[in-house]
Amino acid sequence: MRLLLDTVVLIYAVESPEHLSKRAAAALHNPHNVLELSTVSLAEIAIKASLGKLRLSAATARQAIQDLDIRILPYSAEHAFQLFGLPLHHRDPFDRQIIAQAQSERIPIVTSDEKFGLYEGLKVIW
């Protein structure tokens, strides 16, 4: 099954795996799952790291992506068009883009963010 990882899930997996729920940890380590991370998440990590809000380096992010065998999911125009009809349950622009991407791709998202569950048709794993 394809799974889109929210940014926080990658951060937890690297910095504090004990913060992952049992269900999320099992999903990450299930060899039958195809783990994907949005290019939006990479941009979010880079921006927050440059602002000093996050300690995750580019090298650490690359290593985590390799270690967890994560595919990078490019953000497309079709994903962006999904934003036009997206309700404002969540105001964070990074999260809104990730939600739109998961909806457009019709894939579940692994996240601890409860606001993701407010979006109709979006399956959340946590």
| 60-101 pLDDT per residue, tens | 999 999 999 999 999 999 999 999 999 999 999 999 999 999
Phi/psi for 33 (5° steps) reads: -90, 145
Alpha-carbon distance of 1 to 35, in angstroms, equals: 8
Show Cβ contacts of residue 50 under 8 Å, excluding neighbours closer than 6 positions: none
Predicted model pTM? 0.94
- Second CATH level (architecture) for the domain 2-125: 3-Layer(aba) Sandwich (3.40)
